[in-house]
Amino acid sequence: MSSCVFCRIIAQEIPANVVHETDDIIVIKDIAPKAPLHYLVIPKAHTTSILDLADHEAALAGKMFLAARDVAKKKNIQSFRLVVNTGTESGQSVFHTHLHFLAGKLTQDF
């Protein structure tokens, strides 16, 4: 989707700091980190939120968690938090499904 910032990052139209990539998933540093380590785990296929995921995307949903696992192992991170904002009231601002991967000293209020 040309108007979607994450699709544009995936298409390399906008630069991003990529920390991990597979055929289906890209993991980038968040441009405005809310924790000492803040990554975004982003499926390459565009869906707007987890409400938009189809049953046949169950494997893709699982791959988001496996990508988070692989980033944690690669960077030797033992403790982290995964957050999925869904809908405007939750704080979602980019309407392309993604996990926030937060690590370091975390506050409870993200």
Q: CA-to-CA distance for 102 and 96, rounded, in angstroms?
A: 18
Q: How near is the Cβ of 1 to ligand 5GP at its closest, in Å?
A: 14
Residue found under tokens 């499904």: 97
Q: What three-state secondary structure class fits 9?
A: helix
| Alpha-carbon 103 to chain mean position | 13
Applying the rule CB under 6 A, the residues between 79 and 108 that interact with ligand 5GP are 85, 91-94
Nearer to ligand 5GP, 31 or 58 (CB): 31
Selection from ligand 5GP, Zn ion, none that 30 binds (CB < 5 to 8 A by kind) is: ligand 5GP
Q: CA-to-CA distance for 60 and 41, rounded, in angstroms?
A: 12
Contacting positions for ligand 5GP (CB under 6 A): 5, 14, 16, 28-32, 40, 85, 91-94
